[in-house]
Amino acid sequence: MSVKSKTFFHFRNPDEEISWDAPLVQHTCTFEVGEAPHKRRCRNKVVVGGPYCYIHRLIQQHLVIKPSTDGHGRGLFAVDPSKPANAIIFAHGKDVAKYEGVTISEDQKDALYGPKESDTGPYALEVGRGANSRIVDAATDRSAASMVNHRVNARTNARFTETGKIKVKEDKNIRNGQEIFVNYGNAYTFHENDNSTNRNKRKF
Ligand SMILES: [Zn+2]
């Protein structure tokens, strides 16, 4: 079940006189607890980091959302409390999580964020290429993968695939407690002075 949460996303693009606020969607965790025939859905709520709640994100995905080591809001970390500090949680080439959100059209992107090529949604990722490309926007429906932060290439340990998955780079391993970083593309900028959670540009 999904309802509107009390947490709001704020977007401002003064150049285009665009300004809006929208509540983040609150989901019920999709994990099923127990053994058949007594399985039931977990009842925990999640606003940021779906589709699982904090505990099932940790157990099932080995992911934690907490303040970024780069000092820019929150980030996505690989964590498995059952393993030692330096253990490999995601080995090279492995999938970490899939970028999920709401699929929007190019026209909707223009209306929400602005018409220019540089007017990009802070949580809008272009997935796929050419005729198969689509825009997945996690601004108000904040999947775990959408919390991954940007770094320049040499300092990343993961990348986006054409299907919108975060995958560990071939020459890296992600170890227990490490933050996961991808490169969102050259046009990426971070609006630190904005009071929103703005992070510009989401292309691979
Ligand atoms: Zn759960």
Considering the domain boundaries, does residue 171 fall inside one? yes
Q: Which domain holds residue 112?
A: 2-188
User: Residue 124 is part of a domain; what is its CATH number?
Assistant: 2.170.270.10
The CA 128 to ligand 1 mean position distance, Å, reads 30
Considering the domain boundaries, does residue 204 fall inside one? no
Considering the domain boundaries, does residue 203 fall inside one? no
pTM, two decimal places: 0.88
Q: How many domains does the chain have?
A: 1
Considering the domain boundaries, does residue 194 fall inside one? no
Are 96 and 168 contacting, i.e. CB atoms less than 8 angstroms apart? yes
The CA 46 to ligand 1 mean position distance, Å, reads 8
Query: How high is the pLDDT of residue 32?
Result: 95
The CA 43 to ligand 1 mean position distance, Å, reads 7
Considering the domain boundaries, does residue 197 fall inside one? no
**Token couple for 12:** 């401002």
Query: How high is the pLDDT of residue 165?
Result: 94
How are beta strands 149-150 and 181-182 bridged, if at all? parallel
The CA 35 to ligand 1 mean position distance, Å, reads 15
Which residues neighbour ligand 1 (ion) by CB within 5 Å? 29, 31, 42, 44, 53, 56
Query: How high is the pLDDT of residue 192?
Result: 34
Considering the domain boundaries, does residue 158 fall inside one? yes
Considering the domain boundaries, does residue 141 fall inside one? yes
Residues (pLDDT < 50) of the chain are: 186-204
The CA 26 to ligand 1 mean position distance, Å, reads 13
The CA 28 to ligand 1 mean position distance, Å, reads 8
Considering the domain boundaries, does residue 173 fall inside one? yes
Beta strands in 56-117 (DSSP E): 63-67, 74-78, 88-90, 95-98, 102-104
Phi, psi angles (nearest 5°) of residue 109: -60, -45
